[in-house]
């Protein structure tokens, strides 16, 4: 994934490194911190921890420099080879095969307009010599992480993760997706959740476009100079990514699944998919003791107290840890972002199409704090790179533009458009039309039950009420949520505002007034895996 950090004048190198060193596992291949002389005895700093994925030679190491400008970027720039050829035609030369090396020439050519042109998952920090300061930007969904805050000297500090900034800034804030920072201000260059116009394609046309655009998005993400792997839960989304990738690559892909000892729902379905597509499949099993033991570390690496994010992260972290320790895989494709586009189980209760669309927009805009955050941290902390085909910008823009009346569940089956789009022989019917199971449940219902039971042992009823009342923002409402909040405060004291509260179904809708984020508590959950 790589890790980046930048600081204006006022932050010393030793102080900078104390924060930056906390995310070295994101980029274990090489580290470089470069001072930038601003004159008058002032110095800015740029840092880069490299995970080599494209252009594996040492020439691909950042920061990149061009005519006095400097840049660090954690990202993948899709279609960069064609862009590089265009830039070569304009007289530019390149010393590496890195996709990110094209960014400084692009910036020189197009300036701030570059950000709206990129087909990319990225976070970048650029020192603009002419402006005498930093420019920073983040992709429209926030797939690549970026945070910021202000040092006591007044200098702005940017970093890949909040843990880089603990102790360096007073208030840690997520860099808003689809924005750039320049001259001390933030500007939105796109809102991917807001379509420019409503698309009135009929169901069959929509499904054909969904299929073609998703296949294209997957194909883009197969371009890597490092070995690929695939997370496979046996659910619809990850299974589609794996099935399409296997067809495109014309060879067995490497798939990985995890589940609890004893009641792992996902493992049998993941095995069914793996057998169907002919993948080289690995199963990882986890125990109650492992789940409880790893919990504090998971909260620390996530930088959240959100219940569903933490639950879902435990299995993901452990399977990625196993991949890192036992294989040469460096890039993982995942199935995140489908639910936000096509609907969760709870969105079946949306009272009308407009309400469905508003909820989808909210979820897409907040993705960087929940599912995307989970995938980034669990994968990157294990020195792997995540790629998210459902986050392909063209795909997301198209699905968000569709008339919400055809996206909501009026078919008696959630995510109908996505399922219908891939009818045929991509997947077995039992997988293509399998009911939705939340990942934290599908690894085994016992995992969530074990976490709840463990939380019960930590607090009496009186202690729970007393200690929960101490929090004004995002007040814990169960013993489990209090446990997570207190762990969070150990690592990120006073920084709860980084997250927009708890991810929960829309309690304003009939059928959604629940006290647990799991779809398991909803009346429409169905037989997701039994």
Q: At residue 516, what are phi and psi to the nearest 5 degrees?
A: -145, 140
CA distances from 428 to 211, 240, 245, 363, 435 (A): 17, 11, 16, 30, 14
**CA torsion 319→499→476→23, rounded to 10°?**
40
Cβ neighbours of 328 (radius 10 Å):
10
Task: Please tell me whether residue 434 adopts helix, strand or coil conformation.
Answer: coil
Q: What share of the chain is helix, strand, coil (3-state, %, to 5)?
A: 45, 20, 35
What is the reported pLDDT for 530? 43
What is the reported pLDDT for 438? 54
Q: At how many degrees (to 10) do helices 288-302 and 445-456 cross?
A: 80
Residue whose pair of structure tokens reads 């087909």 in the numeric block: 119
Distance (Å, whole) CA 249 – CA 414 = 29
What is the reported pLDDT for 335? 95
Q: What strands, in cross-sheet order, belong to the sheet with 64-66? A: 64-66, 69-77, 120-128, 133-138, 179-182, 185-188
CATH 3.40.50.620 spans which residues of the chain? 203-521
Q: At residue 156, what are phi and psi to the nearest 5 degrees?
A: -80, 145
What is the reported pLDDT for 529? 44
Q: At residue 86, what are phi and psi to the nearest 5 degrees?
A: -60, -40
Q: Check: CB of residue 496 under 8 Å from CB of residue 418.
A: no
Residue whose pair of structure tokens reads 């993941």 in the numeric block: 270
What is the reported pLDDT for 57? 75
**Cβ-proximal residues to 155 (8 Å cutoff; 6+ apart), any chain:** 7, 8, 9, 10, 11
Distance (Å, whole) CA 311 – CA 339 = 17
What is the reported pLDDT for 19? 95
CATH 3.60.20.10 spans which residues of the chain? 3-188
User: To which H or E segment does residue 45 belong?
Assistant: strand 42-50
Distance (Å, whole) CA 322 – CA 500 = 31
What is the reported pLDDT for 370? 95
> Which class is 203-521 in CATH?
alpha beta
Token readout for 131 is: 């402006």
Task: Please tell me whether residue 239 adopts helix, strand or coil conformation.
Answer: helix
**Quick one: which of 69, 482, 55 has its CA closest to 307?**
482
Task: Please tell me whether residue 206 adopts helix, strand or coil conformation.
Answer: helix
Cβ neighbours of 355 (radius 10 Å):
17
What is the reported pLDDT for 444? 65
Cβ neighbours of 511 (radius 10 Å):
13
CA distances from 151 to 10, 16, 17, 169, 179 (A): 8, 11, 14, 5, 21
Q: At residue 253, what are phi and psi to the nearest 5 degrees?
A: -90, 165
Q: What strands, in cross-sheet order, belong to the sheet with 385-387? A: 280-286, 254-260, 228-231, 331-333, 385-387
**Quick one: which of 72, 58, 57, 70 has its CA closest to 26?**
72
CATH topology for 3-188?
3.60.20
Give burial (CB, 10 Å; 0-12/13-18/19+) of 44. buried
Q: Check: CB of residue 72 under 8 Å from CB of residue 6.
A: yes
Task: Please tell me whether residue 5 adopts helix, strand or coil conformation.
Answer: strand
**Cβ-proximal residues to 499 (8 Å cutoff; 6+ apart), any chain:** 304, 305, 306, 369, 474
Give the pLDDT means over successive 10-residue stretches in the chain (530 positions). Answer: 92 94 90 92 94 78 94 94 95 92 96 96 96 96 97 95 96 98 97 96 98 98 92 95 97 95 85 97 95 97 96 95 96 95 94 96 96 94 94 98 95 94 94 72 78 96 97 96 98 96 93 86 64
């Amino acid at each position: 994934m790589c890790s980046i950090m930048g600081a204006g004048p006022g932050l010393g190198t030793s102080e900078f490194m104390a924060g930056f060193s906390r995310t070295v596992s994101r980029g274990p291949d090489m580290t470089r911190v470069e001072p930038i002389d601003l004159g008058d005895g002032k110095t800015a700093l740029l840092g880069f921890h490299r995970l080599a994925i494209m252009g594996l030679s040492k020439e691909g190491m950042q920061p990149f420099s061009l005519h006095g400008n400097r840049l660090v970027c954690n990202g993948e720039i899709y279609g960069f080879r064609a862009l590089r050829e265009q830039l070569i035609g304009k007289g530019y030369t390149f010393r590496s095969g890195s996709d990110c090396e094209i960014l400084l020439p692009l910036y020189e050519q197009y300036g701030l307009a570059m950000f709206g042109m990129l087909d990319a998952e990225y976070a970048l920090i650029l020192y603009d010599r002419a402006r005498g300061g930093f420019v920073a930007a983040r992709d429209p969904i926030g797939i690549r992480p970026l945070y910021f805050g202000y040092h006591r000297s007044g200098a702005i500090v940017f970093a890949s993760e909040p843990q880089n900034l603990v102790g360096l800034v007073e208030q840690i804030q997520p860099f808003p997706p689809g924005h750039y920072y320049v001259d001390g201000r933030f500007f939105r260059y796109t809102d991917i959740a807001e379509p420019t116009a409503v698309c009135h394609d009929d169901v069959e046309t929509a499904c054909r476009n969904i299929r073609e655009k998703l296949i294209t998005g997957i194909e883009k993400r197969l371009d890597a100079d490092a070995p690929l792997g695939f997370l496979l839960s046996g659910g619809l989304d990850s299974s589609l990514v794996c099935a399409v990738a296997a067809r495109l690559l014309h060879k067995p892909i490497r798939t990985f699944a995890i589940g609890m000892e004893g009641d792992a729902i996902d493992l049998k379905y993941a095995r069914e998919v793996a057998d169907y597509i002919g993948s080289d499949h690995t199963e990882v099993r986890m125990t109650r003791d492992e789940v409880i033991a790893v919990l504090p570390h998971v909260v620390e690496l996530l930088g959240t107290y959100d219940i569903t994010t933490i639950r879902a992260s435990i299995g993901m972290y452990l399977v990625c840890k196993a991949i890192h320790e036992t294989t040469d895989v460096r890039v993982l494709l995942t199935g995140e972002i489908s639910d936000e586009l096509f609907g969760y189980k709870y969105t079946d209760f949306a009272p009308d199409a407009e309400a469905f669309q508003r909820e989808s927009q909210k979820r897409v805009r907040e993705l960087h704090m929940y599912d995307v955050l989970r995938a980034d941290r669990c994968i990157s902390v294990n020195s792997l790179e995540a790629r998210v085909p459902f986050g392909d910008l063209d795909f997301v823009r198209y699905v968000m533009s569709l008339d919400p009346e055809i996206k909501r569940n009026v078919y008696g089956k959630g995510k109908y458009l996505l399922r219908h789009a891939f009818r045929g022989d991509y997947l077995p019917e039992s997988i293509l039309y399998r009911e939705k199971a939340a990942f934290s449940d599908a690894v085994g219902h016992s995992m969530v039950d074990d976490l709840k039971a463990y939380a019960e042992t930590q607090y009496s009823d009186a202690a729970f009420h007393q200690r929960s009342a101490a929090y004004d923002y995002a007040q814990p409402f169960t013993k489990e949520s209090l446990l997570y909040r207190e762990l969070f405060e150990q690592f990120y004291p006073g920084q709860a505002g980084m997250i927009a509260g708890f991810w929960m179904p829309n309690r304003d809708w009939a059928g959604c007034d629940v006290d647990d984020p799991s779809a398991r508590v909803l009346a429409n959950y169905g037989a997701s895996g039994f």
